[in-house]
Amino acid sequence: MGNYRIAVIPGDGIGPEVVNGTCEVLLEIGRKFGHTFRFDELLAGGSAIDATGDPLPAATLAACKRADAVLLGAVGGPKWDTLPGKSRPEKALLGLREGLGLYANLRPAVLFPQLAGASPLKEDLVSSGIDVLIVRELTGGIYFGDRGRRDGGLTQDGIAKGEEAYDTEAYSVLEIERIVRLGLSLSRGRDRRAVIVDKANILESSRLWREVTERLHPEYEDVQVEYMYVDNASMQLVRRPSEFDVIITSNMFGDILSDEAGMITGSIGMLPSASLGAPGQPGMYEPVHGSAPDIAGKNLANPLATILSAAMMLRWSFSLENEAKAIENAVSRVLSEGYRTKDIAYEEENVILGTKEMTEKVILSIV
Ligand code: NAD
- 83 plus 163 within the same structural domain: no
Check residues 346 and 160 and name the one with the higher pLDDT: 160
- 309 plus 212 within the same structural domain: no
Q: What pLDDT, on a 0 to 100 scale, did the predictor assign at position 113?
A: 87
Residue 270 lies in a domain: no
pLDDT-wise least confident of 102-106, 179-183, 276-280, 359-363: 276-280
Model confidence at 250, in pLDDT bands (50, 70, 90)?
very high
Overall average pLDDT of the 231-258 stretch = 96
Q: What pLDDT, on a 0 to 100 scale, did the predictor assign at position 118?
A: 83
How many A from CA of 149 to the centre of ligand 1? 32
- 328 plus 230 within the same structural domain: no
Q: What pLDDT, on a 0 to 100 scale, did the predictor assign at position 164?
A: 97
Predicted confidence (pLDDT) at residue 41 exceeds the cutoff of 90: yes
How many A from CA of 77 to the centre of ligand 1? 9
- 252 plus 189 within the same structural domain: yes
**Which residue has the least CA distance to atom 5 on ligand 1?**
292
Q: What pLDDT, on a 0 to 100 scale, did the predictor assign at position 348?
A: 86
How many A from CA of 294 to the centre of ligand 1? 9
Ligand 1 neighbourhood includes 90 CB (under 6 angstroms):
yes
Model pLDDT for residues 301-332, shown as the tens digit of each residue: 999 999 999 999 999 999 999 999 999 999 99
Predicted confidence (pLDDT) at residue 221 exceeds the cutoff of 80: yes
Q: What pLDDT, on a 0 to 100 scale, did the predictor assign at position 312?
A: 97
- 260 plus 180 within the same structural domain: yes
131 is catalytic: no
Phi-psi group of 333: left, alpha or beta (phi > 0 → left; psi -120 to 50 → alpha; rest → beta): alpha
- Say how far apart CA 46 and CA 76 lie, in whole Å: 6
- 87 plus 133 within the same structural domain: no
Q: Is 149 exposed, middle or buried (0-12, 13-18, 19+ CB in 10 A)?
A: exposed
Question: Percent of the chain beyond pLDDT 90?
Answer: 88
In sequence order, what are the residues at sequence separation of 6 or more whose Cβ sits closer than 8 angstroms to the Cβ of residue 134?
Answer: 105, 106, 107, 108, 109, 246, 247, 249, 254, 257, 258, 261
Say how many domains are in the chain.
2
Residue 107 lies in a domain: no
356 is catalytic: no
- 285 plus 193 within the same structural domain: no
231 is catalytic: yes
- Say how far apart CA 307 and CA 335 lie, in whole Å: 14
- 126 plus 257 within the same structural domain: yes
Model confidence at 126, in pLDDT bands (50, 70, 90)?
confident
- 159 plus 235 within the same structural domain: yes
> For residue 4, what are the domain limits?
1-102+280-367
List 65, 79, 199, 325, catalytic entry? 199
- 259 plus 284 within the same structural domain: no
- 144 plus 240 within the same structural domain: yes
Interior/surface letters 94-123, b for 16+ CB within 10 angstroms, e for the rest: ebbbebbebbbbbbbbbbbebbbebbebee
pTM of the model: 0.92
Model pLDDT for residues 262-305, shown as the tens digit of each residue: 889 878 899 999 999 988 899 999 999 999 999 999 999 999 99
What is the SS3 assignment for 274?
Answer: strand
How many A from CA of 90 to the centre of ligand 1? 12
Instruction: Indicate the average pLDDT of the chain.
Output: 95
- Say how far apart CA 225 and CA 243 lie, in whole Å: 13
What is the 3-state composition of the chain as percent helix, strand, coil, each rounded to the nearest 5? 45, 20, 30
Q: What pLDDT, on a 0 to 100 scale, did the predictor assign at position 219?
A: 98
Q: Which of 264, 292, 324 is the last residue of a domain?
A: 264
Model pLDDT for residues 44-54, shown as the tens digit of each residue: 999 999 999 99
List 227, 229, 259, 325, catalytic entry? 259
Ligand 1 neighbourhood includes 343 CB (under 6 angstroms):
yes
- 61 plus 11 within the same structural domain: yes
Predicted confidence (pLDDT) at residue 85 exceeds the cutoff of 80: no
Q: Which of 204, 233, 264 is the last residue of a domain?
A: 264
Model confidence at 238, in pLDDT bands (50, 70, 90)?
very high
Ligand 1 neighbourhood includes 95 CB (under 6 angstroms):
no
Q: What pLDDT, on a 0 to 100 scale, did the predictor assign at position 353?
A: 98
Give the CATH number of the domain where residue 367 resides: 3.40.718.10
User: What secondary structure does DSSP assign to 157-191, as a single string?
Assistant: TS-B--EEEEE-----HHHHHHHHHHHHHHHHTTT
